[in-house]
Amino acid sequence: MSAVVEFDAVSVRRGQSHLLNDLSLTVREGEHWVVLGPNGAGKTTLLQLAGARMHPTTGTVQLLEEELGRVDVFELRPRIGFTSANLAQQTPGSEIVRDLVLTAAYGVLGRWTEEYEESDVQRANDLLAAFRIGDLADRPFATLSEGERKRAQIARSLMTDPELLLLDEPASGLDLGGREELLQALTEILGSKNAPTTITVTHHVEEIPPGVTHALLLKDGGTVAAGPIDEALTSENLTETFDVSVVLDEQEGRYSARAHFAAPERRRR
């Protein structure tokens, strides 16, 4: 299987700060990765590189067999679906939901004067229906709930039928029902024929969709563990990553974690 994302000794520095430090990673076609790590670990920075939104300070990044710095990123980006809270903030509130999905075909936010093929409109409608928000297609984005917005954004990121899909905290801010619905939709994507290779960043193991195959645990811009999820996602590795003693459970592809604190010593009388 060919490498879709290949980081070789990648570092990203801003002033004195090391956002990523000598990171090497290979994500192959058909793999589904989850990236976990504490606030500030470098997860979003990693996705920015994998989405051709940023260049490394040192090291090389290959995406879809093209090397960043030697390729026109505007040709690369339509092949990569990307969603993040940042992108959501840039979406004009007046944008009609169907147009939000449709405009991804042109790599723009905000409909202007583009003419769209009937087949593009049909695809946008199909994606919205697949995420169970088909009835919201004519509503302005600002009127959607948080969960509906997340689903609309993921529908948008799939519009160009990308080879690589990057999701930065797709389930953050959702209530229990919203999270479960989103996970179900993501699991369907991961299991579908011709599914894109995916990298999902999350803070919580409970938000890992069944179907994820690999895990990367990041801390201070470096790798704690990376590999098949059964090997990389362990209580020991989570404990090291988050600096708190963690017990991990897995049931039918769903994970849960809780801190494990030593029982306090009985006070002597």
Site residues (vs ligand ATP, CB under 6 A): 14-15, 17, 19, 37, 39-45
Identity of the residue, 18 or 111, whose beta carbon is nearer to ligand ATP in the bound complex: 18
| Contact of residue 19 among Mg ion, ligand ATP, none (CB under 5-8 Å per partner type) | ligand ATP
- Is-contact 201 43, C-beta < 8 A? yes
Identity of the residue, 80 or 218, whose beta carbon is nearer to ligand ATP in the bound complex: 218
**CB neighbour burial string for 211-230, b if at least 16 within 10 angstroms, e if fewer:** bbbbbbbbbebbbbbbeebe
Q: Retrieve residue 67's tokens.
A: 């090397």
CB of 38 to Mg ion, least distance (A): 10
Identity of the residue, 172 or 245, whose beta carbon is nearer to ligand ATP in the bound complex: 172
CB of 20 to ligand ATP, least distance (A): 8
Cα Rg of the chain (Å, integer):
20
Phi-psi sector, 15: left (phi>0), alpha (psi -120 to 50), beta: left
- Which residues fall within 8 angstroms of residue 222, CB to CB, at 6 or more apart? 20, 21, 22, 23
CB of 171 to ligand ATP, least distance (A): 13
| Contact of residue 39 among Mg ion, ligand ATP, none (CB under 5-8 Å per partner type) | ligand ATP
Identity of the residue, 44 or 103, whose beta carbon is nearer to ligand ATP in the bound complex: 44
CB of 194 to ligand ATP, least distance (A): 29
Distances in Å between the Cα of 184 and the Cα atoms of 65, 154, 158 are 31, 13, 16
With tokens 């897995």, the residue in question is: 250
| Contact of residue 193 among Mg ion, ligand ATP, none (CB under 5-8 Å per partner type) | none
CB of 44 to Mg ion, least distance (A): 3
| Contact of residue 167 among Mg ion, ligand ATP, none (CB under 5-8 Å per partner type) | none
Identity of the residue, 82 or 137, whose beta carbon is nearer to Mg ion in the bound complex: 82
Q: Retrieve residue 114's tokens.
A: 């583009």
| Alpha-carbon span 27 to 29, nearest angstrom | 7
CB of 143 to Mg ion, least distance (A): 27
| Contact of residue 257 among Mg ion, ligand ATP, none (CB under 5-8 Å per partner type) | none
| Contact of residue 41 among ligand ATP, Mg ion, none (CB under 5-8 Å per partner type) | ligand ATP
- Is-contact 152 83, C-beta < 8 A? no
Q: What is the DSSP letter of 70?
A: S
Give the footprint of Mg ion on this chain (CB under 5 A).
Answer: 43-44
Distances in Å between the Cα of 210 and the Cα atoms of 10, 100, 104, 147 are 29, 28, 27, 19
Q: Retrieve residue 59's tokens.
A: 């090291």
| Contact of residue 50 among ligand ATP, Mg ion, none (CB under 5-8 Å per partner type) | none
- Is-contact 25 223, C-beta < 8 A? yes
Residue type, 144: L
User: Nearest residue by C-beta to Mg ion?
Assistant: 44
CB of 203 to Mg ion, least distance (A): 9
